[in-house]
Amino acid sequence: MNKFIREPMNAFTHFIGIILSIIGLILLVVKAARVGTPLDVGAVAAFGISLILLYTASTVYHSVIAGPKTIAFFRRLDHSMIYVLIAGTYVPLCLIALHGTIGWVLFWVISGLALLGVLFKLIWFHSPRWLSTLLYVLMGWVAIFYSGSLAPIIGNGGLTYLIVGGIFYTVGAIIYWLKPEFLRSRYFGFHEIFHIFILLGSIFHFLCVYLYVI
């Protein structure tokens, strides 16, 4: 901790995420407005906003210097936003790529699971680390069961970006769960590396939506 920021490297890595997410939101909305429908614009906006919310919550949590109760509040918010991002990432896949009945059903299922996930974090925040990690990963990989429906729409390129993004998120989640000490260096610990993998996952999912979904 320094005088102004509690965890400088953790805050910095996800502050970059805020900047990239704002740029990404603008690019997504502009493209969707040019080639898509109002529903498309709303879907990509939901994705972009969920990115901004996650990285903002994370940056604030790792930055704020305050009492234990305030820090605990921002930590709960930070963890809850993971469910918001998962749901936000599904929105363009459900409402633009899949659309129709199958898309709307998946949209409501994922939205419901995300809401339950947020409530779970609020009620039982100190649940076992492995349990929270498992819930994040399982929710994220539900999309794999719809790969057969997605492939004709977003192609192999889109599926590749989607899967690679999921792999980055999953590796990051495993690092978060296991907290491997061998990754620790003078400037970086496991949490900073976890943050980098989350950034990479977000970038690949953004590219999937921007290049292949819209």
3-state secondary structure of 193: helix
- DSSP code at position 3: S
Structure tokens at 56: 């903002």
Question: Residue 1: is its pLDDT beyond 60?
Answer: no
Mind listing the pLDDT tens digit for each residue in 67-87?
989 999 999 999 999 999 999
Predicted local distance difference test score (pLDDT) of residue 181: 73
Rounded to the nearest angstrom, the gap between the alpha carbon of residue 161 and the centroid of all alpha carbons in its chain is 15
Inter-CA distances, 38 with 6, 34, 45, 152, 214, Å: 42, 10, 10, 23, 12
**CATH T-level topology, domain 8-213:** Rhopdopsin 7-helix transmembrane proteins (1.20.1070)
3-state secondary structure of 143: helix
Higher-confidence residue: 9 or 92?
92
Mind listing the pLDDT tens digit for each residue in 176-191?
888 877 667 667 788 8
62 is in an annotated binding site: yes
- CB-based contact 214:96 (threshold 8 Å): yes
What crossing angle do the helices spanning 8-35 and 38-63 adopt, rounded to 10°? 170
All structural domains of the chain with their residue ranges: 8-213
pTM flag (> 0.85): yes
Q: What does the mean pLDDT of the chain come to?
A: 93
